[in-house]
Amino acid sequence: MPPVVIIGSAHPLRGGGLATFNERLARAFLAAGREVVIYTFSLQYPSFLFPGTTQYSEEPAPEGLDIRVRINSVNPFNWWRVGREIRAMAPSLVVVRYWLPFMGPCLGTILRVLRRGGGAVRIVCIADNIIPHERRPGDRLFTRYFIGAVDAFVTLSRSVLDDLRGFGVRRPAVCVPHPLYDNFGEALPRGEARARLGLPSEGVLLLFFGFIRPYKGLDLLFEAMADARVRAAGVRLVVAGEYYTDPAPYEAQLRRLGLGEAVILRTGFIADARVREYLCAADLVVQPYRSATQSGVTPLAYHFDRPMLVTRVGALPEMVPDGTVGLVCEPEAGSIAAGILRYLALGGAHFEPHIQEQKRLYGWDRLQQTIETLADGG
């Protein structure tokens, strides 16, 4: 049977949501009996566009995956070479991730080259975003070029599906909820996880997890932590993730609010091996986003059975039904503070049975089968 090719981030690029997702999807295709090859980037972003410390992982390559480091996002000659190389493999299905318009020229050209000369290849895009959170000149032009090379689309939220239709796309497109990350190991007892991380053994810990960017609303969460009622409750907040923006405003805000020991900063890149420790150490995962499509933090929280407090933006309320799996608030500090207090009143045990019931909906086999159906013209 012809191979499936996945185009997108993977090792040796650092984990994060994109690489982890693509590698886990590859395993879903392997489990279904398909041969899979991942084409990833030798250069994903020019250094001036990358806000973190490094794009590359120091962790070992994932076992059992055929990952080929080929794509240079800024070299058009490379795009043609990669397109011809993939075409020579005669794949039946190409799955391509799209998350940033900057990638439109690169990915759109590779797709056009690989399907030259006919053949039965079908191209299915998994679209994280069509319109980015942080917009730049050329976004719509680059996105329009990319989507013109795609046969069908999977979005991870209804808002992205709506954005896609806004470009006039009438090709097959479906929304599939983000599957749960189940590749970070089994859950740890809360006390053990806290001990491993050197976190307080007692008291309620909130967790903000992932890259820190303005749209993610960490400043709103700091303001909520300064609410007199939240202070009186004695909860603490752990911020675990790397700054992808200037940290100075956040540091100044913490000093101004006098939060002191109420906020524990672990503001470096969180390696895959430490992910479960942070999730399992927390009582409540908080996503105070100003805007969102979907979030890879949500399926992490599900996998480790942690309730969530999310804002009413994008697909977050769709995946976190209010009062059952977690709590939904407005993207402003007072509402977030009220959500924290509501969690404390209900208690963590309130959410446990609902999480177990809801998480059954989010399997990788569902996504894999949807892609296959779209590729078959369904």
The CATH number corresponding to 4-179+363-375 among 3.50.30.30, 3.40.980.10, 3.40.50.2000, 3.40.50.300 equals 3.40.50.2000
- Torsion sign, CA atoms 19, 22, 25, 27: negative
Segment 23-37 mean pLDDT: 96
The larger pLDDT score, comparing residue 178 to residue 329, is at: 329
pLDDT (tens digit per residue) in 33-91:
999 999 999 998 776 555 555 556 567 788 999 999 999 999 999 999 999 999 999 99
Is residue 294 pLDDT above 90, yes or no? Answer: no
Pairing status of strand 66-72 against strand 93-98: unpaired
C-alpha 302/C-alpha 149 separation (Å) is 34
pLDDT of residue 185: 87
pLDDT of residue 75: 97
Whether 316 and 294 have beta carbons less than 8 Å apart is answered as yes
pLDDT (tens digit per residue) in 136-173:
788 999 999 999 999 999 998 888 999 999 888 889 99
Segment 297-304 mean pLDDT: 92
pLDDT (tens digit per residue) in 221-267:
999 999 999 999 999 999 999 998 999 999 999 999 999 999 999 99
pTM of the shown model:
0.76
What φ, ψ does residue 327 adopt, rounded to 5°?
-130, 145
pLDDT of residue 127: 95
The larger pLDDT score, comparing residue 377 to residue 126, is at: 126
CATH classification code of 190-361: 3.40.50.2000
CATH 3.40.50.2000 placement within the chain: 4-179+363-375, 190-361
pLDDT of residue 57: 59
